[in-house]
């Protein structure tokens, strides 16, 4: 039913508009209930609408709302196919849980209503992004997501660091969007349309319609956009800073949904990437390097949320590896499971921070296991899931990606090795975080009495813990439900395949082994030897994220500022303003001179008039030939 | 009658047309001189009226010589406009005088550049 699809987007939009005008008046907790209800209803509608895909009786359809930009042939059209259904379910499902969590988390905030307004705006934008049937709608959603992210990161804008973080996220995303937009223009120039269906059909009918070079250019530009939104090298720097926002925002935007937009986009345009082998390699390499790079930084972090932030970047790297080698199902699969366990980790971290009265430094934690058991045990599941321990969700999705990359052979084996090392590092830094936070002796500040969070916060944790535990079962090698589910969306793409069962077994055992090794090393270091938070030397380098921010600051931001200063204080103030002021000054001086004529003596004016009249008369007489 | 100003004709005594022009020129000059030389706004005003009427005189004189009517009609217009102008002008002068206790235009130099 088409109206249901329309309502999926319209409900959060209505919530946003309603709260925009009445949110502050409704206040706490009404605004939270309304916002949660709209998103929850959207999820229910999406689930109802997706039933046909589960039964295999439908392959996707488009719902046209209205003509948008006729000169470009762009219409406001939604695409309801398995991929967008999957994304919609994740966005609204995880989104609804995080909305509910926020009801408790944002308790007492002076801008409570505003927060839920922004959350609803974000969900609306994200749904536009995943439901758009052409690059136009996708791009609108893409930009709106960036806007809501900016609003939510700098939600506590009284803090200068939060305001700066929001600005940084926006600017870095703009860099990516710039590449993305050029990519879209190239697509339009090449195909004369921005419709997914039109573009993909054209390629399907005749792959020679587009040269490998053009396809490579387009896909690399799309990758620039995806790298910005999905926080990949070299545009990842905004995500760790985005932790300045309230924790539910970190969970919603920077773990579960917004950052997956790039992965979704690459998966959606998989057919274009298929035509450009170079781009596939670039995407997979960027993903692998990002995964490793971010994982090493995560090891050295002190702030519990920053550990998770770098972990998110690292896990997004896996997804890029997956979609890069055209293991589209694998990439989307990891996107889904990651949404579960990373949202859970962030919400758990939020619960910890809540319990510690706002403390985020792991140095001041420890021994929280007994104090906040629900948080501990739910995060326990997420910890094992992200570490890739059998049979939790992370194991299935991460291993699918690694196996596909390995099966690609050649240079991709190197990427597989990087992925494997990263898996070990992931297990290590997540264990470090868990041990430092929950185990050992308390290192709390005086006056802090940890207490478990209210049910509105713990219930979403439990729900997400359940999903993190069993979510991987939707796509096992024996019963690839997700693969069948997504088949209609990827039917035109020749996807990469998993290796033979024997190889799969070996790879799985190796990667679980690496994960367990990572946990054991962390156990020996932080539990047996009770190592405290490290400082100095290399740890400081890691803590500062290899000083990438400083490097960017010196090589890009500082020259940019210098150029802006030059333009503002020389080119603008001296040249442009100079020309304007000079002209003004000239007129002023001329006026001053001419105003001397205005003596204020009426009779002198009379003389002037008379002289003029006489002069004209004389001239007339002379010209008329009287003399 | 002085013969070089007027001469007898069938209709009676006729003034030579160029004397009208001469009179008008004299009146105009007196008016202009008054305008330039006097400081009292009222007197300047009267001078302007004099200049206007000098012009009126040329209109009528030339017109009667040409035997047309346009100039005479123009004179009526000039008189009407002048009457209106006098009304406004006198009101302004009266208002200025009440406020400044002077009608000397040299002291009314607020718009001096």
B28, B31, B33, B35, best to mutate vs chain A, most A CBs in 10 Å: B35
Copy the structure tokens of residue B12: 């009676």
Rounded Cα distance between A399 and A475, Å, is 11
- Is residue A344 within 8 Å of residue A378, measured between CB atoms? yes
Closest CA to A293 of A324, A317, A328, A267: A317
B 28-57 → A contacts, CB under 8 A: 32, 35-37, 39, 44
CA geometry: angle A58, A64, A69, nearest 5 deg? 145
CA distance A256 to A263: 12
ipTM: 0.77
Percent of chain A surpassing pLDDT 70: 100
Q: Which residues contact B53 (CB under 8 A, 6 or more apart)?
A: B27
Q: Give the 3-state secondary structure of residue B101.
A: coil
Domains, chain B: 17-100 (1.10.287.3510)
pLDDT bracket for residue A360 (50, 70, 90): confident
Mean pLDDT of A505-533: 88
Q: Give the pLDDT confidence of A585-604 residue by residue, as tens digits.
A: 999 999 999 888 887 778 88
Structure tokens at A131: 């439901």
Measured CA to CA, the distance from residue A323 to residue A107 in angstroms comes to 40
Please report, for residues A312, A406, A515, A518, B32, the alpha-carbon distance to residue A428 in angstroms, rounded to integers and kept in the order given.
Answer: 15, 23, 8, 4, 107
Say how many C-beta atoms besides its own lie within 10 A of residue A210's C-beta: 20
Distances (CA, A) of A37 to A33, A97, A102, A109, A343: 6, 11, 13, 20, 19
What pLDDT is recorded for position A54? 79
Q: Which helix H or strand E contains A155, and what residues bound it?
A: none
Residue B3, pLDDT above cutoff 60: no
Residues whose CB falls within 8 Å of the CB of residue A182, separated by 6 or more in sequence, listed in order = A221
The SS3 call for residue A575 is helix
Could you tell me the pLDDT band of residue A584, with boundaries at 50, 70 and 90? very high
A598 CA: distance to closest CA in chain B (Å)? 5
Q: Assess contact for A95 and A123: CB atoms under 8 A.
A: yes
pLDDT tens figures, A44-60: 999 999 888 877 777 78
Distance CA A312, CA A240 (A): 9
Cβ contacts below 8 Å, chain A against chain B, sum to 36
Residues of A in contact with B39 (CB under 8 A): 603
Q: Are A224 and A180 in contact (CB under 8 A)?
A: yes
Query: Is A593 an interface residue toward B (CB < 8 Å)?
Result: no
The H-or-E segment that residue A109 falls in is none
What's the token pair of residue A165? 């973080």
Question: Model confidence at B1, in pLDDT bands (50, 70, 90)?
Answer: very low
pLDDT higher than 60, residue B2:
no
| Mean pLDDT, residues A158-173 | 91
DSSP A478-533: S--HHHHHHTTTTTTS-------HHHHHHHHHHHHHHHHHHHHHHHIIIIIS----
Q: Closest partner residue to B109 among A596, A600, A606, by Cβ?
A: A600
**Tens-digit pLDDT profile for residues A538-569:** 888 888 888 888 889 899 889 999 999 999 88
Half-sphere exposure of residue A342: CA atoms within 13 angstroms, side-chain side: 33
Q: Does A613 touch chain B (CB under 8 A)?
A: no
pLDDT at B113: 65
pLDDT digits (tens, 9 = 90+) for A445-470: 887 888 888 888 889 899 999 999 98
CA–CA dist A44, A280 (Å, integer): 36
| Residue in chain A lying closest to B109 (CA) | A600
Identify the pLDDT of residue A434. Answer: 92
Whether residue A120 contacts residue A35, with contact meaning beta carbons closer than 8 Å, is answered with: yes
Q: Check CB contact under 8 Å for B109 and A596.
A: no
Q: How far is B13 from chain A (nearest CA, A)?
A: 32
Strand, coil or helix: A303: strand
Distances (CA, A) of A295 to A255, A287, A307: 15, 12, 9
Residue B79 gets which letter from DSSP? H
Name the residue among A484, A498, A130 with its Cα closest to residue A339: A130
Please write the tens of the pLDDT for every residue from A249-303: 888 877 778 888 999 999 999 899 999 999 999 999 999 999 999 999 999 888 8
- Chain mean pLDDT for chain A: 89
The pTM score is 0.79
Hunting for tokens 């367990």 — which residue is that?
A: A516
d(CA A343, CA A299): 20
**Quick check: A601 contacting B, CB < 8 Å?**
yes
Looking at the partner chain, which of B105, B112, B113 has a beta carbon nearest the beta carbon of A603? B105
pLDDT digits (tens, 9 = 90+) for A209-242: 888 899 999 999 999 999 999 989 889 999 988 8
Q: Is residue A270 a contact partner of residue A204, using CB atoms and an 8 Å limit?
A: no
**How many CB atoms sit inside 10 A of residue A593's CB?**
10
């Amino acid at each position: 039913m088409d109206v249901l699809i329309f309502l999926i987007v319209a409900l959060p939009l209505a919530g946003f508009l309603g709260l925009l005008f009445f949110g502050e008046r409704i206040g706490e907790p009404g605004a939270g209930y309304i916002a949660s209800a709209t998103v929850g209803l959207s999820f229910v509608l999406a689930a109802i609408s997706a039933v046909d895909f589960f039964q295999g009786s439908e392959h996707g359809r488009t719902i046209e709302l209205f003509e948008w930009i006729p000169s470009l042939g762009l219409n406001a059209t939604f695409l309801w196919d398995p991929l967008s259904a999957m994304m919609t379910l994740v966005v609204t499902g995880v989104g609804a849980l995080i909305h509910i969590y926020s009801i408790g988390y944002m308790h007492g905030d002076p801008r409570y209503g505003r927060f839920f307004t922004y959350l609803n705006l974000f969900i609306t934008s994200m749904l536009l992004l995943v439901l758009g049937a052409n690059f136009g709608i996708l791009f609108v959603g893409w930009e709106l997501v960036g806007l809501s992210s900016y609003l939510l990161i700098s939600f506590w804008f009284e803090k200068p660091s939060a305001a700066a973080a929001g600005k940084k996220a926006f600017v870095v995303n703009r860099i990516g969007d710039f590449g993305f937009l050029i990519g879209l223009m190239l697509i339009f120039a090449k195909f004369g349309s921005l419709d997914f269906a039109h573009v993909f059909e054209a390629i399907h009918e005749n792959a020679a319609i587009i040269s490998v070079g053009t396809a490579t250019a387009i896909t690399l530009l799309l990758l620039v956009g995806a790298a910005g939104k999905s926080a990949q090298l070299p545009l990842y720097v905004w995500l760790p800073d985005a932790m300045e926002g309230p924790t539910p925002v970190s969970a919603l935007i920077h773990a579960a949904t917004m950052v997956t937009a790039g992965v979704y986009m690459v998966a959606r345009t998989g057919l274009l990437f298929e035509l450009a082998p170079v781009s596939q390699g670039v995407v997979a390499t960027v993903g692998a390097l990002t995964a490793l790079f971010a994982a090493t930084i995560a090891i050295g972090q002190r702030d519990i949320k920053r550990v998770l932030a770098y972990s998110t970047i690292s896990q997004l790297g896996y997804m890029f590896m997956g979609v890069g080698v055209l293991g589209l199902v694998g990439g989307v699969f990891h996107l889904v499971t990651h949404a579960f366990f990373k949202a859970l980790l962030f919400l758990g971290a939020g619960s910890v921070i809540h319990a510690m009265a706002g403390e985020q430094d792991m140095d001041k934690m420890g021994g929280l296991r007994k104090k906040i058991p629900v948080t501990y045990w739910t995060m326990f599941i997420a910890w094992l899931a992200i570490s890739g321990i059998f049979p939790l969700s992370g194991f299935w999705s991460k291993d699918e990606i690694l196996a596909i990359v390995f099966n690609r052979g050649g240079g991709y084996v190197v990427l597989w090795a990087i992925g494997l090392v990263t898996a070990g590092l992931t297990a290590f830094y997540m264990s470090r975080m868990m041990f430092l936070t929950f185990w050992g002796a308390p290192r709390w500040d005086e006056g802090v009495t940890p207490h478990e969070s209210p049910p509105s916060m713990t219930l979403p944790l439990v729900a997400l813990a359940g999903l993190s535990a069993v979510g991987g079962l939707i796509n096992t090698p024996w019963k690839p439900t997700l693969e069948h589910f997504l088949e209609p969306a990827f039917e035109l793409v020749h996807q990469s395949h998993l290796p033979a069962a024997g190889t799969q077994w070996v790879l799985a055992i190796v990667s679980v082994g690496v994960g367990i090794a990572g946990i054991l090393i962390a156990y020996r270091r932080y539990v047996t030897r009770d190592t405290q938070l490290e400082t100095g030397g290399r740890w400081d380098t890691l803590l500062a994220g290899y000083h990438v921010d400083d490097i960017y600051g010196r090589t890009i931001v500082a020259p940019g500022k210098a150029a802006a200063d030059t333009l503002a204080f020389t080119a603008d103030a001296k040249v442009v303003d100079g020309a304007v002021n000079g002209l003004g000054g000239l007129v002023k001086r001329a006026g001053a001179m001419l105003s001397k004529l205005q003596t204020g003596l009426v009779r002198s004016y009379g003389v002037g008039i008379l002289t003029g009249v006489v002069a004209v008369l004389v001239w007339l007489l002379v010209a008329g030939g009287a003399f | 009658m002085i013969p070089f100003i007027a001469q007898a004709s069938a209709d009676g005594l006729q003034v030579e047309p160029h004397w009208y022009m001469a009179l008008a020129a004299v009146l105009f000059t007196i008016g202009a001189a008054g305008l330039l030389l006097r400081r009292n706004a009222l007197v300047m005003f009267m001078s302007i009226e004099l200049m206007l009427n000098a012009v009126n005189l040329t209109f009528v004189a030339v017109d009667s010589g040409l035997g047309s009517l346009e100039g005479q009609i123009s004179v009526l217009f000039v008189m009407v406009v002048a009457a209106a102008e006098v009304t406004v002008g006198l009101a302004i002068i009266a208002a200025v005088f009440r406020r400044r206790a002077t009608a000397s235009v040299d002291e009314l130099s607020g718009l001096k550049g």
